[in-house]
A and B are shown apart, each in its own frame.
Chain A
Amino acid sequence: MATSNQDVNALHSGAAKKQESVFSYMRKHWELYIIFIGPALLLTIIFRYLPMGGILIAFQKFNPIRGIVGSEWVGFKFFERFLSSPDFIRYLSNTLKLSAYGLVWGFPVPIILALLLNRIGSNTIKKKIQTILYIPNFVSVIVLCGMVRILLSVTGPVNHLFGSSINFMTMPEAFRSIYIISGIWQGAGWASIMYTAALSNASQELREAAELDGANIWQQIKAVDWPAIKDIVVIQFIMQAGNIMSIGFEKAYALQTDMNLKSSEIIATYVYKKGLLDGDYSFSTAVGLFNTVINVVLLIAINKIIAKMNDGKGI
């Protein structure tokens, strides 16, 4: 009895000590809260959480002068308007196709580049090639799209080369290819860094042993190189697949022309045009929210998959 009483007392004092120490901890370590975390938390609240409150205008006929409090509520009217319009399927499929095709075509290229770079015996040549491969990553979206437009213009070098006069930028059927190929041109070299680093960690002795045993290159890749990068490949693929709805605005907008809109109008560019160019705030917010929600659902699903493969640890 006495011992159990003691236990209870110890428990109580332990709890009290902990309770008290939260405040005394915060007072003692005030710098951690005010100086270190403070600015980041303030920015997060103002520029991330306040706008989340603004999502309410998707359910209103928002009037900027009356504000959120004074505007009329309309429920899901704008969602219904978007989902029932013929544009909805087109913009959704443009968005999905652009990123899905981009993933399918673009994903293997950095891996192939890394495997090939890894085969180069001379370190100086390897470094030189890498230097060139990384350059496009530092070219801005605007300059990249400017270059694409120049090279593909009716009087440009590509048409010169083939003696044709095709206006690629006005063709809806060419948009996705232009977007994806220029994306590979710009990003594949840089994306290969990660795989190159993992490959250089793969045991050199293991590779030499495989070579001595008479394994051909294909077998060496299967037995030595692939195991070294497999995990990164899987994680990268899943993460990119999860981001399929969050394809960026900047490049699609810079490659759009009035003529190729049929395939180049994606949800992100539509939200911008409806909201900021037409001033249709509520409708634009509803479309944006629709996109975000699909994206979150995808990401949660993806995180579940990763957690399953990763012994219950998600990202």
Chain B
Amino acid sequence: MRRKKSFLAQCASDKVFILGGNIFLGLFVFSIIIPIIYIIVASFIDPVTLQNSGISFDISKWTTTAYQRVISNKQIWVGFYNAIVYSVVFTAISVMITLLAAYPMSRTDFRGRKVLNIIFVITMFFGGGLIPTYLVISDLGLLNSMWAIILPGAFSVWNMIIARTYYQNIPSELREAAEVDGANELTYFFKILLPVCKPVIAVLVLWQFVGMWNSYFDAMVYLSDESKQPLQLVLRAILIQNQPQSGMIADIQSTAARAQLGELLKYATIIISSLPLIAMYPFFQKYFDAGIMAGSVKG
């Protein structure tokens, strides 16, 4: 009897536990969905209505003014174009350099491995800082060039460690067999090693691409020409500095109406700028699990 009672009590406490847990999880999920839905819906509402009475789900009153104004603005497209160029070039170069460097570092018979490892690892903890780096880039004549934001970060020690660990888990018989067949290092690396490393390559590509696409600091420091700015800097002007591209609002006379429209443009800008990553999300998702395995290894 007593046992049964305690069993029931346990069930009750478990139920409370489960309920509380599910509520927490549910709230967290909603806190992600609701702002996103709000911004999507608000981007279709007339600015005056939005300010006075908030959003409405009455689709018949929706308007696409904001989208038309954002899409017809040239600077957004310049930003998109630059972001794509920088991200693709950066990803290609940095993943290649990292994969290459990780190969000798993965071989225990490689002479100089220890010294090189120290040289690389020090840079993870210590660096010159903003101004000394800026001066070097300026002395190299890279100011206002896309290489200023691509080259300095093109070799990532952390990613090298991840690739190295992945190589080390590949059976050494593979290389021995290749050597017997007379393959040199390059043939082995490109024809045999890389094809079996697709998961880790995918993860590095994903990280580097998203990282470059989403960053703004380097571009803000090194690129001053408007024609060279990536999307995030264009967004920064609109979303953070409240400076909508003048073409977007030039025809509006009153300051108040301009401010309202400026607000509305923010919503549409957020949606439009997020579309490419949303489109790629299902593709990324396949590699999330591989990403954890790669991320959980320690050097």
Could you list which residues of chain A lie within 8 angstroms of chain B, going by C-beta atoms? 22, 25-26, 29, 31-33, 35-37, 39-41, 43-44, 46-55, 57, 64, 112-113, 115-117, 119, 129, 131-136, 138-143, 145-147, 149-151, 153, 155, 157, 160, 185, 188-189, 193-194, 197, 214, 216-218, 232, 235, 249-250, 253-254, 271-272, 275-276, 281, 284-285, 288-289, 291-292, 295-296, 299, 315
Cβ contacts under 8 Å, A138 to chain B: 210, 214, 277, 281, 284
**Measured between alpha carbons, how far is A232 from B296 in the docked complex, in Å?**
9
CB <8 Å contact, A53 and B216: no
Please name 10 further chain A to chain B contacts, defined as beta carbons within 8 Å, in addition to the given A47-B136, A51-B128, sorted by A numbering.
Answer: A53-B128, A54-B132, A135-B32, A145-B240, A150-B39, A272-B221, A276-B131, A288-B131, A299-B125, A315-B298
A10 to B255, CA, bound (A): 91
Provide the residues of chain A in CB contact with B185, threshold 8 Å.
Answer: 29, 31-32, 36
- The prevalent SS among residues of B at the interface is helix
Task: List A contacts of B189 (CB < 8 A).
Answer: 36
The answer to whether A40 and B97 have CB atoms under 8 Å apart is yes
Q: Is residue B215 contacting chain A, with contact meaning CB distance below 8 A? A: yes
What A residues does B38 contact at CB under 8 A?
A: 151, 157
* B interface with A by C-beta (< 8 Å): 7, 10, 13-14, 17-18, 21-22, 24-25, 28-29, 31-33, 35-36, 38-39, 42, 51, 54-55, 97-98, 100-101, 103-105, 107, 110-112, 116, 119-120, 123, 125-137, 140, 151-152, 154-155, 160, 184-186, 189, 210, 213-217, 221, 232, 235-236, 238-240, 263, 266-267, 269-270, 273-274, 277, 281, 284-285, 288-289, 291-293, 295-296, 298-299
- A48→B131 contact, CB < 8 A: no
Q: How far is the CA of A159 from the CA of B288 in the complex (A)?
A: 37
Give the distance in Å from the alpha carbon of A35 to the alpha carbon of B96 in the complex. 11
Please give, as numbers and ranges, the residues of chain B lying within 8 Å of A112 by CB-CB distance.
24
In whole angstroms, how far apart are the Cα atoms of A26 and B110 in the complex? 9
Give chain B residues whose Cβ lies under 8 Å from the Cβ of A193. 288, 291-292
Within the complex, the shortest CB–CB distance from B296 to chain A, in Å, comes to 6
> Is B240 touching A146 in the complex (CB atoms < 8 A)?
yes
**Contact for B21 among A119, A140, A235, A299, CB less than 8 A:** A119
Query: Assuming A22-B111, A39-B101, A275-B134, is B266 touching A140 (CB within 8 A)?
Result: no
Please tell me which one of the listed residues A133, A139, A276 contacts residue B221 in the complex, with CB atoms under 8 A apart.
A276
The smallest beta-carbon distance between A65 and chain B, in angstroms, is: 12
Complex contact B13–A216 (CB within 8 A): yes
Q: Which of the residues B100, B116, B154, B236 comes within 8 Å of A142, measured between beta carbons?
A: B236
* Cβ contacts under 8 Å, B274 to chain A: 139, 143
Contact A113 B39 (CB under 8 A): no
**Chain B residues, Cβ within 8 Å of A129:** 25, 29
A160→B54 contact, CB < 8 A: yes
A204 to B115, CA, bound (A): 45
Check A134 against B288 for contact (C-beta < 8 Å).
yes
Question: Is A284 touching B130 in the complex (CB atoms < 8 A)?
Answer: yes
Given the complex, which residues of B lie within 8 Å of A249, measured CB to CB? 217
Contact of B32 with A132 in the complex, beta carbons under 8 Å: yes
- Evaluate whether A46 and B13 lie within 8 angstroms (CB atoms) in the complex, with A139-B274, A197-B296 already known: no
Given A39-B101, A147-B35, A193-B292, answer yes or no on A285-B132 (Cβ-Cβ < 8 Å): yes
